[in-house]
Amino acid sequence: MIVRFAKENELTKINELRKQLHEIHTEGKPEVFKSGFPDELRDHIYTIWNDPEQEIVVADCDGSICGFVVLNHILKPETPYMYERDYLDIDEFCVDKAYRRQNVATKMISFIKDYARDQGFGRIELNMWEFNCEALDFYEAVGFHTYRRYMEMDL
Ligand SMILES: CC(C)(COP(=O)(O)OP(=O)(O)OC[C@H]1O[C@@H](n2cnc3c(N)ncnc32)[C@H](O)[C@@H]1OP(=O)(O)O)[C@@H](O)C(=O)NCCC(=O)NCCS
């Protein structure tokens, strides 16, 4: 298995994984995420592909795309409250159901860390939904820790 940047002719396969990921979100937070995988969401992969601030990384398991990640370079200007923030954000992250618990995601994180260091980033961030305990277990297993929380109250 190798981890590398995606090729344009792989975007359709990547969309199959984006669909799996979206289903997890629609099941876990149905009041927030729209169900289904409409054309607009499918075609959003081309917006990502064409954005110079974003990169798509894939795990290639013997010629089959078994995982993908979307990376986004975020630059938040200084405000009266905060210093400028410049970091690499992990936006979408999914390993194909058939390939989970085989270290695919761990290898993608290693690739991302090397890339982030090469690009001069001082930190990697991501946000995730609280219902997704498996993702939290994974992110903590590879060294992420929580530094901020979103809270809600149903009325
Ligand atoms: C979360 C996800 C990316 C992990 O991918 P993976 O390739 O299976 O992860 P790895 O095999 O590299 O796991 C490394 C370690 O993370 C932890 N881990 C991974 N998946 C876990 C799970 N389902 N439950 C508990 N711990 C888990 C374990 O410590 C694991 O080590 P181990 O297998 O030796 O116990 C994958 O389950 C996935 O794609 N889930 C659906 C999409 C998703 O939720 N993405 C995140 C959205 S924010």
Tens of pLDDT, residue by residue over 104-114, are 999 999 999 99
Task: Walk across the sheet containing 124-126 and list its strands.
Answer: 2-5, 54-61, 64-76, 85-95, 124-126
| Domains, in order of start, for the chain | 2-141 (3.40.630.30)
Q: Which residue has 């959003």 as its token pair? A: 44
**Cβ of 32 less than 6 Å from ligand 1:** no
DSSP code of residue 10? G
> How far is C-alpha 40 from the chain's CA centre?
19
pTM comes to: 0.97
* CA-wise closest residue to 99 among 17, 15, 12: 17
In this prediction, residue 82 carries a pLDDT of: 98
CA of 141 to the centre of ligand 1 (A): 9
Q: Ligand 1 mean position to 13 CA, how many Å?
A: 20
The predicted pLDDT at position 78 comes to 98
- Regarding the beta carbon of 138 and ligand 1, being less than 6 Å apart is answered yes
pLDDT tens per residue across span 37-47: 999 999 999 99
> Model confidence over 134-153: pLDDT tens digits?
999 999 999 999 999 999 99
